[in-house]
Amino acid sequence: MRRRRTPRAWRFLALLAFLLLAWTGGFIWFVDHVPRGVDDRTTATDAIVVLTGGSERLPVGLALLENGLGERLFVSGVYSGVDVATILDLNDQAPTTLACCIDLGHDADHTVGNARETAAWMATGGRMSLRLVTANYHMPRSLDLFRRVMPGITIVPHPVFPDSVRIETWWRHPRTLILLADEYTKYLVSLVWPPA
């Protein structure tokens, strides 16, 4: 004889279904808010901040510095032992004249750490605005955390677009789907994780 589900089991299943629907709805909203382009390419800021983690980010940051869109470039989350000369060597197109205007942060190992490290660096120079360079899928979480850690700072998002992330047809590409789902889950966690 088949065993009947108890009211507690039904409540658990209903809660599970609700959470799954809520996560899915939020995920679709999140993907819709991942930047597809750079909204502001011209506003100059006190600083350009690059978050490490993707090969496309640093060349974009260096080009922005070279084009005068920031007074200094700060690279957050750099491996210990890596210096400015190494950064420039790895990016052949970057002129060595930029070396004077680049600072590196070696303490951050996650996005909250990036925000805290950047806030400390911004405070030392009395800087009040920055252009934030990171991957498009990483921008919603980064922007939220940076704004919470630095509420008085003007932040201009400058997403970069990795070739491997097929954002326009994400549902057809398992790697992109997994990457976005992982990033969305981290975004949800960051909303309840006090960054300060």
**Which of 146, 122, 117 is closest to 134 using CA atoms?**
146
The residues facing 135 across adjacent strands are: 160
> What is the per-residue pLDDT for 1?
47
| pLDDT, mean over the chain | 92
> What is the per-residue pLDDT for 92?
79
Q: Locate 3 and state its tokens.
A: 């065993």
Give CA angle at 44 (33, 113), nearest 5°: 55
Secondary-structure breakdown of the chain: helix, strand, coil percentages, each rounded to the nearest 5:
50, 15, 30
**Exposed / middle / buried, residue 171 (Cβ in 10 Å: 0-12, 13-18, 19+):** exposed
> What is the per-residue pLDDT for 5?
64
> What is the per-residue pLDDT for 132?
99
**Which of 32, 23, 33, 2 is closest to 143 using CA atoms?**
33
Residues of the chain where predicted confidence (pLDDT) is lower than 70: 1-5, 194-196
Q: Distance (Å, rounded) from C-alpha 168 to C-alpha 179? A: 14
Residue ranges of domains in the chain, CATH in brackets: 45-160 (3.40.50.620)
Classify 76 as helix, strand or coil: strand
> What is the per-residue pLDDT for 74?
98
Contact 68, 47 (CB under 8 A): no
Strand pairing category for 102-105 and 129-135: unpaired
Size of the chain in residues: 196
Sign of CA dihedral 54, 59, 60, 64: positive
